[in-house]
Amino acid sequence: MKTLIAYSTTLGCTEQCASKLKEDIGEDVEMVRISRRRRFNLQQYDTIIVGGSIHEGMIQRSVHKFCDSNLAVLMQKQIGLFICCMDSDANEQELIAQAFPDQLIEHALASGFFGGELNIKKMNLLQKIMTRKAARLKKEPDIDFERILEFARKIYELGSDDNFEGPIVHM
């Protein structure tokens, strides 16, 4: 079973989560960074996982565009959806609902929230000021690796292809 993880990242955390997910799923997984200008051939994949991160309450615009312009193909695939963010008070369901089209959420095998990390070294001055002001954002890295593994398991268990080997469980 061929899987694509299509992600958007601003400061690198979502890419890190996508890499961990790729490792957990195991064989035949590709990763691609979503860019607004790039076109994708999605037909070759059985499963497509889409992820992005929340900045000022919104997922990257490129993720919206990717989902909207490929919705018909995505609806024919096994789908996973995930987001990264740092607001400990955030409502997971609301964030997912804002980030992805309703149709895709209903169709998804798994949707999840993987936590996040404020990568201060990669921030520009404005991003540093904005995150310093937002007292609600956690300061320590808080990526939920267990959740990523759980997400990989869910995709495996609910996916229909017999050839899918399943997630690697790291001991």
Distance of CA 123 to the CA centre of its chain: 20
152 near ligand FMN, judged by CB under 6 A: no
**Closest to 116 (Cα-Cα) out of 35, 53, 48:** 53
Among 1, 4, 63, 118, binds ligand FMN (CB under 6 A): 118
CB of 18 to ligand FMN, least distance (A): 9
The residue number whose beta carbon is nearest to ligand FMN equals 116
Contact indicator for 78, 107 with CB cutoff of 8 Å: no
118 touches 137 (CB < 8 A): yes
Q: Report how far residue 34's alpha carbon sits from residue 144's, in angstroms, rounded to the nearest whole number.
A: 22
148 CB-near residues (< 8 Å, 6+ apart): 17, 20, 21, 24, 112, 114
SS3 category, 42: coil
Q: Is 69 in the site for ligand FMN (CB under 6 A)?
A: no
Among 55, 65, 107, 147, binds ligand FMN (CB under 6 A): 55
Closest distance of CB 74 from ligand FMN, Å: 21
- Alpha-helical (H) ranges within the chain are 13-25, 61-69, 71-74, 92-99, 102-107, 125-133, 145-158
Give me the 12-51 binding string for ligand FMN, x by CB under 6 A, dash otherwise. xxx-------------------------------------
Closest approach, Cβ 138 to ligand FMN, in A, equals: 9
Q: Rule CB under 6 A: choose which of 110, 117, 152, 155 binds ligand FMN.
A: 117
98 forms part of the interface with ligand FMN (CB under 6 A): no
Residues found near ligand FMN in the complex (CB under 6 A): 9-14, 53-57, 84-87, 90, 116-119, 123, 127, 130-131, 137
